[in-house]
Amino acid sequence: MSLNSDYAKPEEYGLADLLCCAAAREVQDNEVVFVGTGLPMVAILLAQRTHAPNLKLIFEAGTLDGRPAEIPTSVGDARCEAGSSLASGQYDAFSVAQRGYVDLGYLGGAEVDEYGNVNTTCIGDYLNPELRLTGSGGNPDINSFAQRTVFIMLHEKRRFVENVSYITSPGWRLKNWPTGEWVHRREMYGASFRGGPSAVISTLGVFRFAEDTGRMYLDTYHPGTTVEQILEQCQFKLDVSRVSGETAPPTREELHLIHDVLDPEEIFIPKGKKG
Amino acid sequence: MKNKKITIQEAAELVRDGSRLTFAGFTIWRKPFAVAYELIRQQRRNLHLIEVGGGSISDCLIGAGCVSVYESCWVGHELYGKYGANLSRKVKNREILMEDYSHGEMMFRFAAAAAGVPFAVSQSSLGTDIHNPEYDMLGRAGLRDGVKNPRSKYQFMDDPFYNGGKYVLLPAAKADVAVLSVQQVGEEGTVRIEGQCYCDPTVARAADITIAIAEEIVPESYLRQDSHVNTIPSFEVDYIVECPWNAHPSGMFGRYDVDGDFLRNFFQQTRSQEGFDAFAREWIYGLDHDSYLDKLGVTRLQRLRANTVLKYSTSRGKGK
């Protein structure tokens, strides 16, 4: 970032602010971005008002190239349509993705494995679940078709696992059904292979995936956490050989935009340290 | 001209025990709750609810025990509840059969049905457990008759034309009845939706019987003056109902916002069956739509009402 001198001090921001800014920095100007409900909405509107004013925003419910004036509470919200190029429906949103227009998607998940496979369907055996979650929604669709996807997740040891209970959303190593043998994502998606999970932004750090193997590695650790702490919170053997340093904190300008302009009602991002 | 106008009660009666039912709308937006509540009052049973995407309305029908098969991709309450607690409970207790597809897949399945073809083709979700043959729940239950339920959950094939690799074939989604919640419908059935149309036009075309629940019935001639802004042609809609606030507690573009407090309470209260039953006694049984609105009260509804220029309420907010 160019505003280094403007970085906020640790006591001036919360964890949600840090995640929001880290997420915003994943997008480049002019990209087409597919955004789900929650913190990513604030992140993308933040990017739209800072370094990526020409990004094209797609909401799953059917808004194409939206410029909402107020933060929507979900992608079906009436606030999504404001300033958009086209208000349509899911058929258009998913066709646009499958056609290959989408550069970046923001998603969430309950569990993730070393290859970026994500579970949002159930905890425990699918046929006898401890807890049924929401289900897939558009998570696998966006993740199948976007060039890059960024996952924003709560970091707990039970969530960073060797094998997810159920692969809802496709990572870099996948099962080739109907037989189910493991294959690299490139093999699975053939001519339409465009990329895959590019980052996981957790509550402890930012993780990326090796270009060849698709294995996850730690890129940056958040201020106040350590590499050792993060290793302790992963069930798989995390690659920490490529750590580039600490996650950049929010700038004061970003904090102003988040709290005074984008989410003053604290719908997604609480103010101050409580985030 | 056939008179298409019926009541909410009559709309619910068109859905029979065992019907394959679908709702248009999106998660907590334009979901025809007035009909769902009436289905619960009429104690409809063994529904096969098949939706592009679910939401609070699905979880409500499921909590009431109306649904024996749920085929879709997602149930939750967005910001107001992190998952569908009624679906979750009934899946765990094996009181419902859940068939999972992805959202894109469900949309493409309805688009195939709307186009009158037997399947859609896609590359979505390849390599995920959504395609795991062990998780074909209708198949495991012996319900794949090749009539309404497709003979298989998926088929795979290689692109026969452009060498594009592996594709998944998705069976068209068959629905007996579709219920839509919309802003305006004309006497002949022409629908005008404002804002995002979600999956409504596709679902309306795909289902055998399509019912449009509208905030208002307007002169057909008015809609036909500007047909380029209409959404669904007259003949695809079999029945129409005029029912203001029919989507509450979900929202409707240009008319009213989501009632977040109501949904938050629904999620918290209905995590147990006893809690759901208490909710139903308070808000569903013994009421009709008018007395439901009376119980909500004018002040609450006024707060949800959309600003006519902005198209959304200016007084929404977390915890208000």
User: Hey, are the CB atoms on A136 and B100 less than 8 Å from each other?
Assistant: yes
Residue B294: phi and psi, rounded to 5, are -60, -40
Which of A76, A94, A192 minimises the CB distance to B28? Answer: A76
What's the pLDDT at B1?
78
What's the pLDDT at A54?
97
User: Hey, are the CB atoms on A168 and B128 less than 8 Å from each other?
Assistant: yes
The nearest CA of chain B is from the CA of A79 a distance in Å of 7
Cis peptide before B249 (omega within 30 of 0): yes
Q: CA-to-CA distance for A104 and A118, rounded, in angstroms?
A: 17
User: Hey, are the CB atoms on A140 and B254 less than 8 Å from each other?
Assistant: no
Q: Which residues pair with B49 in a beta bridge?
A: B21, B70
Tokens of B294: 């009376």
Among residues A210, A105, A110, the alpha carbon closest in space to that of A155 is found at: A110
How big is the A-B interface in CB pairs under 8 Å? 227
Could you report the per-residue pLDDT of B74-127, keeping only the tens digit for each?
999 999 999 999 999 999 999 999 999 999 999 999 999 999 999 999 999 999
B201 CB near a chain A CB, below 8 Å?
Answer: yes
Q: CA-to-CA distance for A251 and A17, rounded, in angstroms?
A: 10
* ipTM of this predicted structure: 0.96
Checking phi first, is residue B305 left (phi over 0); if not, alpha (psi -120 to 50) or beta? beta
Q: CA-to-CA distance for A189 and B4, rounded, in angstroms?
A: 48
Q: CA-to-CA distance for A41 and A54, rounded, in angstroms?
A: 16
Write the burial class of residue A211 (CB in 10 Å: 0-12 exposed, 13-18 middle, 19+ buried): exposed
Q: CA-to-CA distance for A211 and A208, rounded, in angstroms?
A: 9
**Stretch 10-69 of chain A: residues touching chain B, C-beta under 8 Å:** 37-38, 59-63
Rg, chain A, Cα only: 18
Digit-by-digit pLDDT tens for chain A (275 residues) are 455 569 999 999 999 999 999 999 999 999 999 998 889 999 999 999 999 999 999 999 999 999 998 999 999 999 999 999 999 999 999 999 999 999 999 999 999 999 999 999 999 999 999 999 999 999 999 999 999 999 999 999 999 999 999 999 999 999 999 999 999 999 999 888 999 999 999 999 999 999 999 999 999 999 999 999 999 999 999 999 999 999 999 999 999 999 999 999 999 999 976 55
B253 CB near a chain A CB, below 8 Å?
Answer: yes
Q: CA-to-CA distance for B227 and B248, rounded, in angstroms?
A: 28
Residue type, A172: W
CA A229 → CA A205, A218, A225, A233, distances in Å?
10, 12, 7, 6
User: Hey, are the CB atoms on A191 and B317 less than 8 Å from each other?
Assistant: no
Q: What angle do CA A184, A187, A193 make, to 5 degrees?
A: 105
Q: Which residues of B touch A88 (CB under 8 A)?
A: 196-197
B139 CB near a chain A CB, below 8 Å?
Answer: no
Among residues A123, A137, A159, A136, the alpha carbon closest in space to that of B92 is found at: A123
Which of A70, A75, A141 minimises the CB distance to B125? Answer: A141
Cβ(A213)–Cβ(A186) under 8 Å?
no
B70 CB near a chain A CB, below 8 Å?
Answer: no
State yes or no: pLDDT of B229 exceeds 60: yes
A166 CB near a chain B CB, below 8 Å?
Answer: yes
Task: Please state the rounded mean pLDDT for residues B148-167.
Answer: 95
Cβ(B133)–Cβ(A177) under 8 Å?
yes
Can you say whether the dihedral through the CA atoms of A167, A170, A173, A175 is positive or negative?
A: positive
Cβ(B163)–Cβ(B169) under 8 Å?
no
Which of B91, B103, B123 minimises the CB distance to A189? Answer: B123
Distance of CA B138 to the CA centre of its chain: 21
Tokens of B316: 């929404």
A140 CB near a chain B CB, below 8 Å?
Answer: yes
Residues shown for chain A: 275
Which of A87, A138, A185 minimises the CB distance to B127? Answer: A185
B136 CB near a chain A CB, below 8 Å?
Answer: no
**Which one from A26, A31, A60, A114 is the annotated catalytic residue?**
A60
A190 CB near a chain B CB, below 8 Å?
Answer: yes
Active site residue A70: no
Residue type, B308: T
Tokens of A69: 């004036």
Q: CA-to-CA distance for A91 and B104, rounded, in angstroms?
A: 8
Can you say whether the dihedral through the CA atoms of A159, A162, A165, A169 is positive or negative?
A: positive
